[in-house]
């Protein structure tokens, strides 16, 4: 049975042998992306990382209110837009337009951002309140 | 507050892993599911390619072929959802019970302080079962849902259980791209 579960799934899983090459391509400008899903995965994981990093920063500063949410949306979209249009220079039409790329993994990254922001903020600035 | 928030993150990691594990046991590893999944993926990719190739041509024959393939894909997608549904219900029930248990443990407890004022229609969730009118207080359920939203999907993606992009773009499965995400 266990052999049957090892069907290769491109979406989401990066095979270990390709891991390095995908990562190097992701941080090299103007790389080639023959597999669309691979590039979308890079965008997805980049988004998650940005969400977590911004969450930690916003919590440490601490940034509060609607401004924090707005800034997150702007920074997140801007970084990804800059990444695929200026750094990787991909043809966005191939992926169904800039909007498809901009929204790839957005909700998950937003949720991750909120969690880290709330945890760091309440842990650092409101820890003594309850006791 | 560190203890509570980190505990909630831990709980949602555990429940996400448990959910995926159970789904694997009941669905993902079955032959029927795997066959259907590869079939749907193959068909979606083929359909996408065909649509791209004959995008604007109004050739009747091609149109008919594409329509026929779409119909087949739809049927396969429906079968896939049906295979998933049974276990989803079982897992849904189990998790609702778990959730109500956690809910009673954290009942009336402020687990975190929100750095922003939630929108009014979210306040019912973020301030659920909490005393007072300070809407910056965060309830267990709100943080848990947020954790699950991010953790579950990432775990699905890491393990390769997430529905493929081509399939979710082409097909209209009953449950949408992430079934039972909040459970």
pLDDT digits (tens, 9 = 90+) for A64-83: 889 999 999 999 999 999 99
Question: CA of A104: which chain B residue's CA is closest?
Answer: B165
Say if A40 falls within a structural domain. yes
The CA distance from B159 to the nearest CA of chain A, in Å, is 7
Residue B183 confidence (pLDDT): 41
Nearest CB among A63, A66, A121 relative to B113 is that of: A121
Say if A97 falls within a structural domain. yes
Residues B35-61 have pLDDT tens digits of 888 888 888 888 888 777 766 666 777
The CA distance from B18 to the nearest CA of chain A, in Å, is 18
Other beta carbons within 10 angstroms of residue A21's beta carbon come to 12
Q: Which residues of A touch B149 (CB under 8 A)?
A: 107-108, 111
Query: How many domains does chain A fold into?
Result: 1
pLDDT band at residue B107 using 50, 70 and 90 as cut-offs: confident
My answer on whether omega of the bond before B104 falls inside 30° of 0, hence cis, is: no
Least-confidence region, from A74-83, B94-103, B174-183 = B174-183
Among B160, B169, B171, B178, the residue to mutate for chain A (most A Cβ within 10 A): B160
CB atoms A51 and B2 under 8 Å: no
Among B115, B143, B151, the residue to mutate for chain A (most A Cβ within 10 A): B115
Q: What angle do CA B98, B22, B105 make, to 5 degrees?
A: 15
Say if A19 falls within a structural domain. no
Rank A1-10, A48-57, B39-48 by mean pLDDT and report only the highest: A48-57
pLDDT band at residue A129 using 50, 70 and 90 as cut-offs: low
Question: CA of A125: which chain B residue's CA is closest?
Answer: B113
pLDDT band at residue B165 using 50, 70 and 90 as cut-offs: confident
Among B165, B167, B168, B177, the residue to mutate for chain A (most A Cβ within 10 A): B165
pLDDT band at residue B14 using 50, 70 and 90 as cut-offs: very high
Q: What is the mean pLDDT of residues A42-56?
A: 93
Q: What is the mean pLDDT of residues A91-111?
A: 85
Q: Which residues of A touch B134 (CB under 8 A)?
A: none
Its domain, for residue A69, covers 35-124
Say if A113 falls within a structural domain. yes
Non-local (6+) Cβ contacts of A121 within 8 A are A58, A59, A62, A64, B113, B114, B115
The CA distance from A64 to the nearest CA of chain B, in Å, is 5
**Residue B163 vs residue B40, higher pLDDT:** B40
The CA distance from B94 to the nearest CA of chain A, in Å, is 24
Say if A96 falls within a structural domain. yes
Give CA–CA dist B12/B150, Å, rounded: 10
Say if A26 falls within a structural domain. no
Say if A13 falls within a structural domain. no
- Specify the pTM: 0.81
Beta carbon pairs, A and B, within 8 Å: 108
Nearest CB among B38, B115, B157 relative to A117 is that of: B115
Say if A14 falls within a structural domain. no
For the stretch B139-143, contacts whose Cβ atoms lie closer than 8 Å and that sit 24 or more positions apart, written own/partner, are: B139/B106, B139/B110, B139/B111, B140/B8, B140/B102, B140/B103, B140/B106, B140/B109, B140/B111, B141/B99, B141/B103, B142/B118, B143/A115, B143/A118, B143/B5, B143/B8, B143/B111, B143/B112
The CA distance from B178 to the nearest CA of chain A, in Å, is 11
């Amino acid at each position: 049975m266990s052999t049957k579960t090892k069907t290769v799934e491109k979406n989401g899983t990066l095979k270990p042998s390709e891991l390095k090459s995908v990562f190097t391509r992701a941080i090299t400008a103007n790389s080639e992306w023959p597999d669309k899903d691979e590039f979308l995965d890079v965008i997805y994981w980049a988004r998650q990382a940005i969400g977590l990093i911004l969450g930690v920063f916003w919590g440490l500063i601490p940034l509060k209110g609607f401004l924090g949410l707005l800034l997150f949306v702007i920074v997140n979209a801007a970084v990804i837009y800059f990444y695929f249009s200026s750094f990787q220079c991909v043809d966005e039409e191939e992926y169904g337009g800039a909007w498809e790329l901009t929204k790839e993994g957005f909700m998950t990254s937003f949720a991750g951002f909120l969690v880290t922001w709330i945890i760091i903020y309440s842990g650092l600035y409101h820890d003594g309140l309850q006791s | 507050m560190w203890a509570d928030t980190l505990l909630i993150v831990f709980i949602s990691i555990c429940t996400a892993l448990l959910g995926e594990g159970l789904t694997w046991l009941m669905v993902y590893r079955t032959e029927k599911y795997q066959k259907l999944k590869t079939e749907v993926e193959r068909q979606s990719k083929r359909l996408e390619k065909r649509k791209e190739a004959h995008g604007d041509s109004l050739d009747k024959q091609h149109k008919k072929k594409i329509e026929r393939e779409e119909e087949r894909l739809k049927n396969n997608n429906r079968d896939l959802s049906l295979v998933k549904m049974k276990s989803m219900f079982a897992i849904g029930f189990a998790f609702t019970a778990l959730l109500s248990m956690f809910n009673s443990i954290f009942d009336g407890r402020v687990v975190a302080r929100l750095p922003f004022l939630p929108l009014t229609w979210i306040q019912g969730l973020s301030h659920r079962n909490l005393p007072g009118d300070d809407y910056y207080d965060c309830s267990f359920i709100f943080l848990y849902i947020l954790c699950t939203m991010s953790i579950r999907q990432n775990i699905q993606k890491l393990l390769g259980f997430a529905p493929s992009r081509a399939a979710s773009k082409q097909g209209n499965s009953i449950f949408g791209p992430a079934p039972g995400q909040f459970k």
